Amino acid sequence: MSSPDAGRPPRSRLARAARLAAVPAAHAGRTAIGLGKRIGGRPAEAVTAAVQQRTAEQLFATLGELKGGAMKVGQAMSAMESALPDQLVGPYREALVKLQEAAPAMPAGLVHQQLERALGTDWRRELRDFDDRPVAAASVGQVHRALRADGTPVAVKVQYPGAGDALVADLGMLQRLAPVIGAAAPGLDARELLSELRTRLVEEVDYAAEAAAQTAFADAYRDDPDIAVPEVVAAADGVLVTRWLDGRPLSRVIADGAQDDRDRAGTLLVRLLASAPVRAGRLHGDPHPGNFRLLPDGRLGVLDFGASEPLPDGWPARLGPLLAAGRDGDAAALHRIADDAGLLQPGTVSPAALHELLDPYFEPLRSAAHRFSRRWLQEQTRRASDPFGAASRTQRRLSIPPRHLLLQRVAMGTVGVLCSLGATVAVDAEVARWLPGYPARP
């Protein structure tokens, strides 16, 4: 007989701390054993690969089991899979795909309790043929398929019991994972990632707010030929019901999709990012592959709006001119706009240094269509993370206002997904179409 707590994420601070602490402890032990094996004559590369693979398996399994903020960290890392060096991708890709698509499920009885508490004892009258087997898992809930009374297929997201408590417990403890994330994903700034995520986690427990954000997107993209957002059917405490979207998860397109599908998905992902603040007045804040589907009719299905951010005035006014200056190689204008926007520590960064740091990132804007590649992103990650390099020194002198942190993470995450796809995208044309102050190239 299963425990009544099966499927619940550990809620006590002690229990979650113990589970998280086991990951770096085990990594340290494997590293020590690996050192012994190298001394004993085994090839260093083989030993290192084995340690990395075991660390990845334990890291992502633990992140998934704990759900809450811990799982959210894993999902955010998955968007940056393409930044990993080639020799490290193999051990992690399978674990990342699994984390994007599923996590250990709540037992059916617990799911039914949540539905009864939120929708009432007669919830089965509205949700017929409810499938007890979850089809997907998010950081604070899992998704089931059902039919409405009128036969319409719907997705039913059910929040994990204690998800809010789990998020609160995670806020301070996730910093303990930074060394292991650094070992699992060299080049990623784990501490910065964790710090920014902490400010967003609690928002995802509020399904009423998520429903409002999703409705704004659904209204903005209704009948759109390229973007599909499922309409909200019902929202209650801990339960969100939306129309069902059939489609191929973007993680699977990344794993084995045809190039045409990769290019199509990449183009529509850029279109969504560029157009949403203009059309919906909001920014989709969570661009990891598990939140997108390539639908049979060629549209991009968009899911999970718990981390979206209101931008009622559209894009920041300076963003278009800043991107145009970078695209055109105008170092003086780039520096002036960045300085006026408060992005630089006063008097610490010269126009030449800022241009040297940012110039490679404007490369996708300089051609009619740009082919994103893992190798390009790996090089930028290596360059920016070299503590002795000029780019790293300049980067430390930037001053990103808190209101722009989510935008920065969304842009980075989107580029990571594009590089994982290996997509060819007309980025310049999409940006010119949607950002004021960004002129199209002649």
User: What DSSP character marks residue 358?
Assistant: H
pLDDT digits (tens, 9 = 90+) for 45-82: 433 445 445 555 555 555 545 555 455 555 555 555 55
pLDDT digits (tens, 9 = 90+) for 329-364: 999 999 999 999 988 888 889 999 999 999 999 999
pLDDT digits (tens, 9 = 90+) for 142-178: 899 999 999 999 999 998 887 766 665 665 556 665 6
C-alpha of 296 from chain center? 23
**Residue 435 confidence (pLDDT):** 97
Q: For tokens 């209704």, name the residue.
A: 222
Please, what is the average pLDDT of the chain?
78
| pLDDT interval class at 100 (50, 70, 90) | very low
User: What DSSP character marks residue 253?
Assistant: H
Which part of the chain has CATH 3.30.200.20?
A: 108-163+203-243
Handedness of CA 242, 244, 249, 250 (dihedral sign): negative
| pLDDT interval class at 4 (50, 70, 90) | very low
* Distance separating alpha carbons of residues 95 and 100, to the nearest angstrom: 9
Both structure tokens of 346: 């006063």
- Fold assignment, 108-163+203-243: Phosphorylase Kinase; domain 1 (3.30.200)
**Residue 195 confidence (pLDDT):** 65
Both structure tokens of 15: 């229990």
Rounded average pLDDT over 179-183: 56
| pLDDT interval class at 401 (50, 70, 90) | confident
Contact predicate 302/216, CB 8 Å: no
Helices and strands of the chain, counted as H and E runs: 19, 14
Asked whether the predicted pLDDT for residue 27 surpasses 80, the reply is: no
